Amino acid sequence: MPDQRSRFDDLLRRLGEITDLRRISGLLSWDHETKMPPLGAPARAEQSATLARLTHELGTSAELGALLDELRDLEESSDHDSFEASVIRVARRDYEKERRIPGELRAEMSRAASLGYRAWLEARAAGDFEILRPNLDRRIALVHEYVACHEPFDDPYDVLLDDHEPGMRTADVAAVFARLKDELVPLVAGIGEPVDASCLYGDFPAEHLRQFSLAVLTCWGMDDRAWRLDDTVHPFAVGLSGSDIRITSHFDGESLIGLLSCLHEFGHGLYEHQIDERYSRTPLHDGASSGFHESQSRLWENIVGRGLSTWRFFYPRLQVAFPQQLEDVPLDVFHRALNRVAPGVSRMDADEVTYPLHIVLRFELERAMLAGDVTPADLPEAFAAKLREYLGVEPAGVVDGVLQDVHWSDSNFGYFPTYALGNVISVQLWERLIRDVPDLEQEFELGNFAPLREWLREHVHRWGRALTPPELLERAVGGPLDAEPYLAYLRSKVAALESS
């Protein structure tokens, strides 16, 4: 056992170095999207590629592989939930996946992502998809190289999906999405005149809204000694450690929408913040999957952030912050506006009911691009056609259409589906939450969100990656992934708007 303990300590040291490099890469990405001057992009692309190469070398070294083999006895003799068994199990999975990938390919993927992000910004500013298209051509070529490293597989998209949702298969996602599409396309088409949401738009100075958003997040649990909020074009969150959480938003000065993106990113940040501290500098210190991560952001943004009990506490304070805009707007009018259901072209601004269809169409287009059925040159029209088919809306141009999302410029394919999977999980968690804590919404009305935070810490966050997504869902809610509670939740939302 002393020899095994010594080898395990050596494993922790090696994993700590790999984790440090990955967090540094995350810091470079955060800076790229928030503070970096535009002309720094080419150098940043090379810096990112170098870091990716070094991280890959450490993460696939023969020494690391031998160490993991030597520690099989310790893993097998330890309890499944133990720190030691969990670290070894997850580290081995990462090692076996990563060693399939050549170091130069990993570096080139990082370089292309960095350059692609800058091209996306330029394309949006010019309203010209052709600025991004060569980068997208390159990204797809790299994706094909990456997928080929993982043969054999049932479906090439499985490879990409597994990077974000470990163990899930494309067929599983397609089945869930077929159910969502069958239910939601006719539901959305049958929606009558949307409620008036004009109170959410007007003169909402960016700095004033930022300060109000910070007040809400502080009440929810944000600590400015460990968190920060910055502005960006496409909001995101990154956890550089459990006590260094960076979230971003975009306040346009013309609406309250930036507040909702803050609530969304808070959910991501809180997940990272509440992972067990023992997991620091190990591969366990991350969310169980992208879908679980999205379940947290969607729960805080939608179920809590659009909930009446939440706004019974916060709305009087919002009226004080923006008296000219909201003083004469009753709470019920504001709440209905916040929950308005109406098809639109934008995923980021989509309501809860139409949002899943934005994800379904992206999932279908990703699979079509991977199969060669849709090329980057075809993408603007293919994207617009899906919007027309599923939502009955027409983008005014490529900025409102295919260029609205950053993910095809700087991220691997396979991420989009996790947004909708996160929505499904969020409702399953919420149903269990209100059974376990029946007075939860009464606490919200008093401004007390600690019971929610602590339930999520205990049942979801603290586990990090120690449990697989199915294991975590089974323990948290007592069953597997199930879209039916989510669909019932969406139907009830539509019914409530139509009856009020």
Active site residues: 265
Q: Which amino acid is at 106?
A: R
Q: How is 101-139 classified by DSSP, letter by letter? A: S-HHHHHHHHHHHHHHHHHHHHHHHHT-GGGTHHHHHHH
Q: CB of 393 within 8 A of CB of 450?
A: no
Phi–psi pair at 68, nearest 5 degrees: -65, -35
The encoded tokens of residue 495 equal 């019914």
DSSP for residue 255? B
- Which helix (H) or strand (E) segment holds residue 248: the answer is strand 244-249
DSSP for residue 169? -
Q: CB of 414 within 8 A of CB of 280?
A: no
Q: What is the spatial distance between Cα 318 and Cα 305, in angstroms, rounded to a whole number? A: 13
Residue with tokens 């909930």: 307
Q: Which amino acid is at 68?
A: L
SS (H, E, C) 437-468: CCCHHHHHHCCCCHHHHHHHHHHCHHHCCCCC
Q: What is the spatial distance between Cα 424 and Cα 467, in angstroms, rounded to a whole number? A: 19
Q: CB of 177 within 8 A of CB of 423?
A: no
The encoded tokens of residue 135 equal 């980068």
Q: What is the spatial distance between Cα 56 and Cα 105, in angstroms, rounded to a whole number? A: 10
152 upstream amide cis, omega within 30 of 0: yes
Q: How is 200-211 classified by DSSP, letter by letter? A: GBS---HHHHHH
Angle between helical axes of 2-34 and 62-70 (0-180°, round to 10)? 130
